[in-house]
Amino acid sequence: MNTLGLRIKKLRKAKGMTQEDLAHACQWESQSRIGNYERGTRQPNLQDLEKLATALDVTLPDLVTGRDRSELETLPDAIQGRVRSEDRSVQNFGRSKDHGQPVSSNAGWAREGRVPVVGNAQLGNEGYFEALDFPPGHGDGYLNIHSDDPDAYGLRVTGDSMLPRIKNGEFVLVEPNKSFYSGDEVMVRTITGRTMIKEFIYLRDGMYRLDSVNAEHNSIHIAESDVLEIHLVGGILKSSRFLHSANDI
């Protein structure tokens, strides 16, 4: 059986590493943790899995579940959500040669301190976005923040459905080409025109589960086929970060 422990052992040996080498690469003091993981007497948490995947130069989904994803349903929800979201992001955007992170097909990078604000997010029960038709690099002013996502954009938030996490008049930084994981806030737009900012929990059996930071709003489940786009909310910014012109930086 191709278990996680056996995959760790096989990948470690393929790289010519001892258990001690791998432990040091993960910044752990002793190789005993590696031995426990390989024998299956201890299960790594998500943070440890990230370190192991980096040290072994493989993607986290391939390390955790194998290439056939046959073990996915046996894992904790947080790890399942991470694997599914990373798989989906890679399918949509491809992989960076160096870091394995989803990348945009567009050339260029967002200039430091110049992320365009392209519209308003009215955050009610049936939240919607306005004026999202500006070309990249143009819009209703700028956010003074750096993003290495070439398609990053900002939205001005109105409404109180995300209180206390996002307040009326604040801005959100949206980074469409970056991975999102369980617990991250995301901007979701459905094919019916419903748009919302929610907390991504998981994508399972073709259904998204999305939670609201505002306890007054219930969790929702949306079919994957009904989602037009889902983008990472990379930051929540005060109005002091807004600039009317790129020359104001």
Residue 180 lies in a domain: yes
Contact 19/35 with Cβ under 8 angstroms? yes
Residue 148 lies in a domain: yes
Write down the pLDDT at residue 66. 65
Number of domains the chain is built from: 2
Q: In Å, how far are 17, 137, 138, 217, 218 from 214, measured between CA atoms? A: 48, 32, 32, 6, 9
Residue 207 lies in a domain: yes
| Average pLDDT for runs of 10 along the chain of length 249 | 81 89 91 91 86 85 69 69 61 38 32 72 56 49 83 81 74 87 85 81 90 75 91 86 68
pTM (predicted TM-score): 0.52
CB-count exposure of residue 167 (10 Å: 0-12, 13-18, 19+):
middle
- What does the DSSP assignment read for 31-46? THHHHHHHHTSS---H
Residue 35 lies in a domain: yes
Q: Are residues 191 and 70 in the same domain?
A: no
Q: Are residues 135 and 33 in the same domain?
A: no
Residue (of 152, 155, 166) closest to 110 by Cα position = 152
Q: What is the span of the domain harbouring residue 154?
A: 115-248
